Structure 1
Amino acid sequence: MNKILANIKGDRVIWAIAALLALFSFLPVYSASSNLAYLYGDGDTFSFLIKHFAHLVLGFLIMYGVHKIPYHYFKGLSIIMIPVIIVLLLVTMAQNTTIGGANASRWIRIPFVGLTFQTSTLASVVLMAYVARYLSKIKDRKVTFKETLLPLWTPVFLILVLILPANFSTTAIIFSMVMMLVFLGGYPFKYILTILFSGLLALTFFILFAKAFPGVFPNRVDTWVSRVETFVNDEDVEEGYQIERAKIAIARGGVVGKGPGKSVQRNFLPQSSSDFIFAIIIEEWGLVGGVFLMLLYLLLLFRLVVIAHKNSDVFGKLLVIGVGLPIVFQALINMAVAVELFPVTGQTLPLISSGGTSIWMTCMAIGIVLSVSRKNSIEAQKSINQEEDTTTNENPLDVLREAI
């Protein structure tokens, strides 16, 4: 155990948060997957637990491997990966099949392995690293909007356009995070307003185009409109059914919950092990479990701010915020949907919900944050060693005179 801990570097609090979230996830995933087992399997819920365990093991291996990479390497890697991401999104978008009744244009199947992978989640991590790299490059120098249009906004625009037809919520989150990052990175505010206006204009054009030619993007805009109308008017459609069941689960949970594995709404609530797992957690663990989970994510946010503050490199600061904050943001959105503070988005609860892609990309993002914190620890240790060497080399008589 000591040998394993010796090889784990970086912020120990973040390691502990990730481990606690992963360990806690087993009980709600095992409980919530019972309806999936009877709908799509032979009633064997244990197989879903094993699958979730395998996803987490691979995720933590990714986290460990990534945290060993010096974080400045991600500058070059982000440049290399941008064209790869665009190609993957194009291939994903070209698919017209379905997986489990869902739109397969969100997933790509990995050859020879049989696994499916949601490319938009990888695109989010790569894009945030790329934006952080560019902002650190132009820091402390005056730039024009035209100068940044090709190297910064063209990749952002292409990636968002390729994600939008299949996944509006992910597109909106990525766009919001990019806006937040460029604001923190000191990008001129008047240019940010221009991009915001251009984004709204592009979205309006896409909606009008999809309405005019419904065969090109079937049911996508209608789904968005339906979710917003359900949220505003509380209409009795599929999304409204999900929200109602989620609220029933939360109401049944009370303060301390019904106990692990005793959820009733898991049998009626679609996506109970992924999108609406927070409602199942509150039903079984009560308000205490929900608050505990929220505090873990808020503690993660606090550690992100601390790591970013301690790093002396602009790229390191922006990288931590860029890849780390979306994890907390996604968690809060998932919780807000469950309690009907936000329309249904399809966003999972990081490191809690079942689903390999979400777990793997969350672990990759945490690994990048740990890589930055690992560098901070090394620099702090060097500073301490230098101070000790200075103290050791001082003349004892001089130290005594100063003390007197």
Structure 2
Amino acid sequence: MNMETTIAKTVTTAKGRRAFGDYLGRSHKGPLGEWFWEIDRVLLLLVTILISIGLIGVAAASPAAAERYSGESLQFPQLYYFYRQLIWLGAGIPLMLVISTMPKELAKRFALAGAVCFFILLLLVPFLGNEVNGARRWIGYGVATLQPSEFLKPFFIVATAWLLSLRFTQDPTLPVVWATAILTGVIALLLMRQPDFGQTVIFGSVWIVMLMISGVSPKLLGGLSALAVAGLGAAYFFYPVATTRINNFLFAEGDSYQVDNAMRTLTNGGIFGTGPGDGEMKYRLPEPHTDYIFSVIGEEFGLIACLAIALIFGAIVIRVFVKLIDEENIFYLLASAGLATQFAIQALINMAVNLDMAPSKGMTLPFISYGGSSLIALSIGFGLLLAFTRRNPHLPALDRRL
């Protein structure tokens, strides 16, 4: 009897494994099986590694952040921000996966609707926004507070890609370049008013890269480059926030406490770091769990860990652009390239600030820094990237056009 029971359990288990394997098999036509074979599993693995590193980094930075932000009437536990990061990831990761399962056309419509929604919210920030540390960037109250500019970034990229693609799919004479220029300019003005110079740089940089990829004339690109230089000059002379930060960086004027301590913290651990929990310089950083988490990781896990993070970001961007080599749909090409560029520029700015190579901009490190709006918005953006880079492995390259 015992032998029969054992055999029955073995057969049941084998059937269960085979059924699960069949469900994810290439021959299975269900949504999960289709998603599993079409998704770029390398990209999914790389972002999973980043998220895991981020959890370790937030755990390392959480005691310093909790000590800094604990007032007389409130004492945060040492891992307060780590536990909150788990909550944000619990919302962000499922959202990213759900978006990645969307059909490409549905993902595009979702992003266009999001662009309209968060552009309107950005317009309302000057009137309804909450002021924190002299900046008015957030809307809402308590846990329902969000930063519209963070969510607008991925949606803006998809909307810009859609507009630029109309030159190829509808009418080459449509003034879509100027339409995207006006949209970018309005967003830049709204961000500068908050003020948020760092986000303005990202929106403008991504827009120029997408114009380059869409094949606009070199003459126009040259004019835009000259305009961008003139804009930076005007910002330096007439925009106090930019003036202060650039002077602090170039001439060591004013308070350079943040970037100086970030660099000292980053190099304090040497090549292999002081060890988890043994960092001391992190307690002097103003935002150890967000803007300067890269320095905290450098102190406790060493410069080799920082190099590994930079390589992972580089691998993600290279992977996306390699996959786009044979992409024939101009919209998916522009949208995917724009999303990868935004991801790269944001990471590059954050790491440059921590290395004292750029003025402080209040920019988080994607999927590694602690954050609510930032993490959810990045999850949406990466979910769209995974959706737009999905490929049917059974179809030849020439049949991928939708």
User: Do they fold alike, i.e. is TM over 0.5?
Assistant: yes
Counterparts of residues 228-307 of structure 1 (less than 5 Å): 228-235=246-253, 237=255, 240-307=256-323
1:124 to 129, 139, 153: 153
Say if 2:86 is the partner of 1:56. no
Deviation at 1:109, TM superposition (A): 1.3
Query: Alpha-carbon deviations, 1:270-321, whole Å to 9, x = none?
Result: 1111111111111011111111111111110111112222433111111111
Query: Alpha-carbon deviations, 1:120-164, whole Å to 9, x = none?
Result: 1222111111111122221389856x8336643322222222122
Query: Alpha-carbon deviations, 1:181-222, whole Å to 9, x = none?
Result: 1111112232334444555666667777xx5xxxxxxxxx32
Do 2:245 and 2:359's aligned partners in 1 also have CA atoms closer than 8 Å? yes
1:183 to 185, 190, 212: 212
Say if 2:176 is the partner of 1:158. no
Identity level (%): 23
1:319 to 330, 335, 342: 335
Alignment-mate amino acid for residue 293 of structure 1: I
1:71 to 88, 92, 104: 104
Unaligned runs of 5+ in 1: 212-220, 387-404
Do 1:37 and 1:43's aligned partners in 2 also have CA atoms closer than 8 Å? yes
Do 1:307 and 1:320's aligned partners in 2 also have CA atoms closer than 8 Å? no
Q: Rate the CA distance shift 1:97–1:73 in 2: closer, same or farther, 3 A.
A: closer
Q: Rate the CA distance shift 1:195–1:93 in 2: closer, same or farther, 3 A.
A: farther
User: Which residue matches 1:382?
Assistant: 395
Say if 2:127 is the partner of 1:94. yes
Instruction: Count the aligned residue pairs.
Output: 364
Alignment-mate amino acid for residue 81 of structure 2: F
Alignment-mate amino acid for residue 248 of structure 1: R
Alignment-mate amino acid for residue 244 of structure 1: D
Question: Which stretch shifts more, 311-320 or 188-197?
Answer: 188-197
**Counterparts of 2:116 and 2:268 in 1: how far apart (Å)?**
49
Deviation at 1:176, TM superposition (A): 0.9
User: Which residue matches 1:223?
Assistant: 241
Do 1:52 and 1:355's aligned partners in 2 also have CA atoms closer than 8 Å? yes
SS of 1:98's equivalent in the other structure is strand
User: Which residue matches 1:399?
Assistant: none
2:144 to 115, 123, 137: 115
Query: Alpha-carbon deviations, 1:231-274, whole Å to 9, x = none?
Result: 1112351xx11112112112211110001111111211111111
Do 1:323 and 1:369's aligned partners in 2 also have CA atoms closer than 8 Å? yes
**Counterparts of 2:314 and 2:324 in 1: how far apart (Å)?**
15
Do 1:324 and 1:365's aligned partners in 2 also have CA atoms closer than 8 Å? no
Q: Rate the CA distance shift 1:265–1:171 in 2: closer, same or farther, 3 A.
A: same
Do 2:130 and 2:138's aligned partners in 1 also have CA atoms closer than 8 Å? no
Q: Rate the CA distance shift 1:373–1:202 in 2: closer, same or farther, 3 A.
A: closer
1:347 to 358, 363, 368: 363
**Counterparts of 2:294 and 2:177 in 1: how far apart (Å)?**
40
Q: Please provide the CA RMSD for this pair.
A: 2.7
Unaligned runs of 5+ in 2: 1-15, 25-31
User: Which residue matches 1:392?
Assistant: none
**Counterparts of 1:303 and 1:141 in 2: how far apart (Å)?**
30
Alignment-mate amino acid for residue 91 of structure 1: L
Q: Rate the CA distance shift 1:45–1:154 in 2: closer, same or farther, 3 A.
A: same
**Counterparts of 2:211 and 2:110 in 1: how far apart (Å)?**
20
Say if 2:387 is the partner of 1:371. yes
TM-score (norm 1): 0.82
Say if 2:137 is the partner of 1:106. yes
**Counterparts of 2:221 and 2:202 in 1: how far apart (Å)?**
16
